[in-house]
Amino acid sequence: HPVLALRGIRKRYQIGTPVETEVLHGIDLELQPHEFVALTGPSGSGKSTLLNVIGLLERATEGRLHIDGHDTAALTEAQLTALRGRTIGFVFQYHHLLPAFTALENVLLPVLAAHGSLTADDEARARALLQRVGLGEALAKRPGELSGGMQQRVAIARALILQPRLILADEPTGNLDTASADAVFALLRAFNRDHGSACLIVTHDPRLAARCDRVVELVDGRIVADRRVDAAE
Ligand code: ADP
Ligand code: ADP
Tell me 143's DSSP state: G
* Ligand 1 atom nearest residue 48's Cα: 2
Going by pLDDT thresholds of 50, 70 and 90, the confidence category of residue 49 is very high
What is residue 183's three-state secondary structure? helix
Exposure string (b/e) for 85-107, b if CB count within 10 Å is 16 or more? bebbbbbbbebebeeeebbbbbb
Nearest CA to ligand 1 atom 19: 49
pLDDT in tens, 165-174: 999 999 888 8
Question: What share of the chain in percent tops pLDDT 90?
Answer: 76
Mutate to test the pocket of ligand 2, among 111, 121, 125, 129 (most ligand atoms within 8 A of CB): 129
Burial status of residue 113 (CB atoms within 10 A of its CB: 0-12, 13-18, 19 or more): exposed
Structure confidence at residue 184 (pLDDT): 85
Can you spell out the DSSP letters for 186-229? HHHHHHHHHH--EEEEE---HHHHTTSSEEEEEETTEEEEEEEP
**Mean pLDDT highest for which of 14-18, 180-184, 216-220?**
216-220
Question: How high is the ipTM of this complex?
Answer: 0.68
Going by pLDDT thresholds of 50, 70 and 90, the confidence category of residue 232 is low
More confident call, 195 vs 105:
105
pLDDT in tens, 103-137: 999 999 999 988 899 999 999 999 999 998 889 99
Nearest CA to ligand 1 atom 20: 49
Report the chain's C-alpha Rg in angstroms: 18
Q: How far is CA 50 from CA 26, 116, 233, in A?
A: 11, 30, 28
What would the mean pLDDT of 175-190 be, rounded to a whole number?
A: 87
Tell me 100's DSSP state: T
Going by pLDDT thresholds of 50, 70 and 90, the confidence category of residue 183 is confident
